[in-house]
Structure 1
Amino acid sequence: MKLEENPEGNGSLVDKNQLYLGAKHQANRKPGASGKAKLSARQESNAKCDLPRKSLNMYTWQEIQRHNQETDQWLVINRKVYDVTGWADRHPGGHQVLNHYAGEDATDVFRAIHPDPDIVRLYLKPLLIGELAPEEPNQERNKNSQLVEDFQELRRTLETMNIFNANQGFFFLHLSQILILEALAWVIVWHFGSGWLITIFISFLLTVAQAQGSFLQHDMGHLCIFKKSKWNRLMQKFVMSHLKGLSVKWWNNQHFPHHVKTNIYPKDPDIDVGPLFVIGDLQPVKYGKNKIKFVDYEKQHLYFHVGELTFKHFFLQEIAWVGSFYIRYFITFGPFYGIFGTIVLIYSVKFLESPWIVYVTQMSHIPMKISKEENQDWFSTQVLATCNVEQSLFNDWFTGHLNFQIEHHLFPTMPRHNFHKVAPLVKSLCAKHGLQYVNKPMLKAFGDILW
């Protein structure tokens, strides 16, 4: 069966930061000869909408669900069916994100991850192959359609309230805090020397700066804080690579799969941490049945915070930007500590930062439900796999507002300074549909990771 394509199109949202990628590919999925786009995203989208109509196939969910392999990936977004097999390797958020949703409805996750509806048409138009047959529901039949509809209505309400607009002043103050702490550390060692007490104190200052930098680079990875995407890309590299020493590409490939399949084993890289750690209910059983034992897993709670994040800082790509982090440290502290001493200082700070960031990021996930793929709706998946930590001025600062992990996972592109405004609405929706909204004191959340 065939039907006419709606020329306006529907679909997910694509990050402004990656606009230039869409311009490199023409409708035949081969690289365009002209390089970067010369037209604005809106002009390009409107031009495509003026193309002649073409007939589209209609598909059932049973047919779509068969295309769920890495070599054969179909997605459904707003009832439109897209073949993303050839696009997956070029996807700005990593190929795993698309693969994880192959054969499924991806409407809510696309809206959650991508902020701009105009940009997405550049990506989706060439991939459109059909749409759901009229008799088919909007989502797979095992999903709670009323909950999905209520969540989508909540998102539309928040959009009309401009909750997704970032306050640039908030992020400027956060960046200023980091730069002031690093400058203060240098002034102290320059004025008082590099004795042990001074070194311990500046290590503390630099650890705080690095931890707060982790929260800011998290923002830069998710948000289009600046309207001009080139500035957003530049700031992302400055914060993530220059201030933190991390690869932007690595972060994208690790972090976005965590968001789209939170606590789904083995799709979420944050919980697939074997062979050093086994977490949840499934992994210990798997390792036990197969008699796999690399370490004493009964003692893993004692060393979890040491290893889970520290090794990630050694993954170096985008050499120029990541290298600038180390060059900056050697220029700043090399005259006082020498080459070897500066290396020790860098990784001492990283070592101290690791438990802070591990506990902040993992206290909201590891104690929650960890399961294999159940193909639940977006709202249920995030709420069941995530919990919050109680709000206070200290908790907000110490966690970088990631104490509102439920809201952050439901709305990753929402600025963190607005999470507290949304939390009562999310909690109300949970109550309506019988889902537990977990909100813990911080010390209990820390303890739950270990016990």
Structure 2
Amino acid sequence: MTVQAVTTPAGRRGSDYAELSRLIGRAGLLDRRPAGYLGYAVLAGGLFVAGWVAFFLTGDAWAQLLVAVLLAVASAQVAFLGHDAGHRQMFRRRLPGEVVGLLAGNLAAGLSYGWWVEKHTRHHANPNHEDEDPDVGAGALVWTAEQALATRGFTRWLARRQAYLFFPMLALEGLALHVASVRAVFGRAADGGYRTPMRHRRVEAALLLLHSAGYLGAVLTTLSPLRALAFVAVHQGLWGIYLGCSFAPNHKGMPMQAGDERLDFLRRQVLTSRNVRGGRVVDLALGGLNYQIEHHLFPSMPRGNLRRAQPIVRAYCARHGVPYEQTGLLDSYGQALRHLHAVGAPLRG
């Protein structure tokens, strides 16, 4: 999809989101669902524990690569639990959600909960804004032609081929998340030498160290060096691919904003987001992120209510002339890859 600026239609738009919010509230879709989340926590946590039980029972054997696949799926599902906790979808009070987030993120997945919440909050405030959304800032991948033209050396080589390299590069996403988490908790941010804001830094540091010691200790004491290396590569690589494939369909290839462009809240969230069709299996596999439009409009809405909110939001957007993008999973990847390929086109001329 060609990158294009998004403009606000003429007319009075300030009350559009408030009206939609009232409709959603009257339907009871913002009410917390503790029983549903308890069931999901048991499912995700049980799968995670079962994976490690299988690891210790299997011992030093190449069958551990199959266990690594299971643990990659389990790790992603636990990370989704941390995502929902960060949005306060489970509890109205902050502290219980932070406890779940710290356990799911720092301890189980080795991902800094505080760093992720700060970064993800900025993304939600300005999705697909090339200056303010950290998820579309220039890095290993570039998201605009301007970012592509600014690359040099190896990053320029990557930008030319990024559509072809996208999925292989996702295998390094897990490692990148671990590195960013460690830098955020123990190091200093690049801008001005200030640390990433974090409410429970010491707790996060202790849990990350406990995760690293437990993970590496289990792998290195159970497996021979070659099998240990293969296990970590498969587990961390597939975990990164799974997470990347869950988040990529949501915004990649959708219209971008830049500079001083500002939309009202409804259009800022809907026009830059994409839903992915599918049944309950897709809902579970993507952690509810396939209802990205509804999630961005109502971040604290429990995951189980997103499916029920979708027809209300879609009908409301149709009445107000707001384009509502929904497609299949494979097509969502196709749109993202076409966007990445188009962005790199100026470098291939």
Q: Per chain length, whose mean CA-contact separation is higher, i.e. which structure has more relative contact order (CA < 8 Å, sep 6+)?
A: 2
1:382 aligns with 2:269: yes
1:201-220 matches, within 5 Å, as 201-220=66-85
Specify which of 284, 287, 292 is matched with residue 150 of structure 2: 287
**Deviation above 6 Å: which 4+ runs of structure 1?**
none
Amino acid paired to 1:287: A
Name which of structure 1's ranges 226-235 and 413-422 shifts more when overlaid on structure 2: 226-235
1:263 positional shift: 0.4
Normalising by structure 2, report the TM-score.
0.79
What is the root-mean-square deviation of aligned Cα atoms in Å? 2.5
Amino acid paired to 2:240: S
1:240 aligns with 2:105: yes
Instruction: Map Cα deviations across residues 136-183 of structure 1 (whole Å, 9 max, x no partner).
Output: xxxxxx776643313202212322333112212222222222322233
Q: Check 1:207–1:281 CA distance in 2 against 1; reply closer, same or farther (3 A cut).
A: same
Q: Check 1:389–1:333 CA distance in 2 against 1; reply closer, same or farther (3 A cut).
A: same
For the 8 Å contact 1:330–1:342, the answer to whether it is kept is no
Query: Distance between the aligned counterparts of 2:24 and 2:108, measured in 1?
Result: 33
Query: Distance between the aligned counterparts of 1:340 and 1:327, measured in 2?
Result: 19
For the 8 Å contact 1:389–1:404, the answer to whether it is kept is yes
Specify which of 293, 304, 313 is matched with residue 166 of structure 2: 304
Specify which of 136, 142, 148 is matched with residue 278 of structure 1: 142
Normalising by structure 1, report the TM-score.
0.62
For the 8 Å contact 1:363–1:449, the answer to whether it is kept is yes
**Seq. identity, %:** 26
Structure with the largest fraction of strand: 1
Query: Distance between the aligned counterparts of 1:235 and 1:207, measured in 2?
Result: 20
Instruction: Map Cα deviations across residues 18-37 of structure 1 (whole Å, 9 max, x no partner).
Output: xxxxxxxxxxxxxxxxxxxx
Structure with the largest fraction of helix: 2
Q: Check 1:203–1:365 CA distance in 2 against 1; reply closer, same or farther (3 A cut).
A: same
Aligned equivalent of 1:149: 15
For the 8 Å contact 1:364–1:388, the answer to whether it is kept is yes
Query: Distance between the aligned counterparts of 2:89 and 2:280, measured in 1?
Result: 25
Specify which of 119, 125, 130 is matched with residue 265 of structure 1: 130
For the 8 Å contact 1:215–1:400, the answer to whether it is kept is yes
Amino acid paired to 2:241: P
1:415 aligns with 2:278: no
Aligned equivalent of 2:116: 251
Q: Secondary structure at the match of 1:147?
A: coil
Aligned equivalent of 1:446: 333
For the 8 Å contact 2:61–2:227, the answer to whether it is kept is no
1:292 positional shift: 9.8
For the 8 Å contact 1:265–1:370, the answer to whether it is kept is yes
Instruction: Map Cα deviations across residues 291-337 of structure 1 (whole Å, 9 max, x no partner).
Output: 99642422112333425733121131231011222233245444312
Query: Distance between the aligned counterparts of 1:417 and 1:213, measured in 2?
Result: 16
Q: Check 1:301–1:351 CA distance in 2 against 1; reply closer, same or farther (3 A cut).
A: same
1:261 positional shift: 0.4
Query: Distance between the aligned counterparts of 1:144 and 1:320, measured in 2?
Result: 53
1:52-201 matches, within 5 Å, as 146-196=12-62, 198-201=63-66
Q: Secondary structure at the match of 1:364?
A: helix
1:397 positional shift: 1.2
- Structure 1 unaligned blocks of 5 or more: 1-141
Aligned residue-pair number: 306
